[in-house]
Amino acid sequence: MITIAVLAAGSSKRFGTQKLTHLHHGKPLLQWPMDLLKKLNGEFKKILIISKSIDISLLKTDDFEIVMNKNAEKGLSTSVRMAISIASESESTGLLLFLGDMPKISTDLVKRTLLMNKEKIIFPSHDGIKGFPVFLPSKYFGEVSALDGDVGLRKIIALRKDETVSFEGGQNCIFDVDTIKDVVEKVERRF
């Protein structure tokens, strides 16, 4: 079994308010990756890691386990470590990571990631930039658990370049919402 984690515990400093509950085409921004994951077939454990600033009543969480990151202010690594801990407890063979502010990830992109060699760290990229989702085999859980601060997986990927598989995922795999302008000018172009 693979654990899927949507990381949504950021502070939204550049956005000005909690961006993940900002409505986009009638539903919160965070709902987009969650709805995408509901379409996947297979045996997955789905978790949503949030901060106290997320109003969970605005979301349709269905089959997601909701986990509160009480240390979110200490950076992204706290959410990654929580996801790894849950995946380890579930005896998952790997962890598929998403960010909650990336509304353009497609089902095809997720399927392509899951079809690759699951012995390696897998991720799409575009113009040399690492994108999402990222698959992390369980053999790396211990090493990634040692991360600290506002650090994602870039450090591990840099150290283990020959143990990664990257493929062209298009600009949607790297697009995230940082400001209100991103929602209005960029996300709107999706439709």
Q: How far apart are CA 88 and CA 80, in angstroms?
A: 12
Identify which of 68, 62, 8, 12 has the alpha carbon closest to the alpha carbon of residue 37: 62
Identify the band that residue 191 occupies on the pLDDT scale cut at 50, 70 and 90.
Answer: very low
Global pTM value: 0.86
Percent of the chain with pLDDT over 70: 85
Q: What is the pLDDT of residues 171-180, one digit of tens each?
A: 999 988 765 5
Q: What is the pLDDT of residues 103-144, one digit of tens each?
A: 889 999 999 999 998 899 999 999 999 999 999 999 999 888
* Contact call for residues 15 and 33 (beta carbons, < 8 A): no
* Contact call for residues 190 and 29 (beta carbons, < 8 A): no
Q: Please report the domains of the chain, with CATH numbers, ordered by start residue.
A: 2-190 (3.90.550.10)
* Contact call for residues 96 and 76 (beta carbons, < 8 A): no
Q: What is the pLDDT of residues 2-44, one digit of tens each?
A: 999 999 876 545 555 567 877 777 788 899 999 999 888 888 9
